[in-house]
Amino acid sequence: MTEEQNNAGKNRPVVTSSERDKKVEEHIRGILEYLGEDPDREGLIGTPERIVRMWKEIFRGYDPQQKPKITVFKNGCDGIVYDDMIIDEGEFYSVCEHHMMPFFGRYWFAYIPNPNGRILGISKIGRVIDYCAAKLQIQERLVHEVVDMLAEALKDEEYPPLGIALVMKASHLCKEMRGVRKHGDMTSGCLTGAFKEDRYVRTEFLDLIKK
């Protein structure tokens, strides 16, 4: 970088968070006008500001400072060595990157701890799923991002987990409200280790989540 370019960068005005918010709010006003609305009518006063606040919440997955800290424990540290399947399930919400419309549904996460490895803090699974889902996504990528992040937390060069699995089933409003306008859930999964290589383990997991 030349000295002139360096000085130009130093002289560039610093845009504050508040200024960025105001700029985005003006864009939202323009979108409302494009739709044929009057952004100054009673029902829409404050809507641009509310949308900006909402985006900060539902797209927090872009903020590395909000990335959850994943607590792990040494297997057997409490006197119990566990090497059977552990399953966690719950709900998730995300936004499709193709049309910026929500998709949402249920997830089933499972892993088999290495008896000499690590155990996940159970509440951290849902936090990781929420964080990875809190940005523009496609469901196929989402399952891999979650598994990769949790696998990294469980990573032990000598004693890795025996297997990790995640299945997500979701309704996509970009399919139900537009286009084909058909209801129907999409299911995607990511299987590693024993869940991928051992059909008996895989069948046990799939049978359990069907119930």
Structural domain boundaries enclosing 86 = 63-210
pLDDT for 14 equals 62
Beta strand spans in 63-181 (E): 72-74, 86-96, 102-112, 118-120, 136-137, 163-172
Q: How far is CA 13 from the centre of its chain?
A: 34
Which stretches of the chain drop beneath a pLDDT of 50?
A: 9
CA distance 22 to 36: 21
**Domain with 54 in it: what CATH number?**
1.10.286.10
Domain boundary among 39, 58, 77: 58
Burial of 18 (C-beta count, 10 Å sphere; 0-12/13-18/19+): exposed
CA distance 146 to 132: 6
Query: Are residues 32 and 73 located together in one domain of the fold?
Result: no
Q: Name the phi and psi angles at 167, rounded to 5.
A: -125, 135
Joined tokens for residue 187: 């299911």
**Domain with 187 in it: what CATH number?**
3.30.1130.10
Query: Are residues 47 and 67 located together in one domain of the fold?
Result: no
Q: N- to C-terminal Cα distance for the chain?
A: 61
Angle, CA 170 vertex, CA 183 and CA 141 arms, to 5°: 130
Query: Are residues 48 and 74 located together in one domain of the fold?
Result: no
Query: Are residues 15 and 53 located together in one domain of the fold?
Result: yes
Query: Are residues 49 and 75 located together in one domain of the fold?
Result: no
Reported as a single tens digit per residue, the pLDDT across 47-61 is 999 999 999 999 999
pLDDT for 156 equals 80
Query: Are residues 45 and 80 located together in one domain of the fold?
Result: no
pTM: 0.89
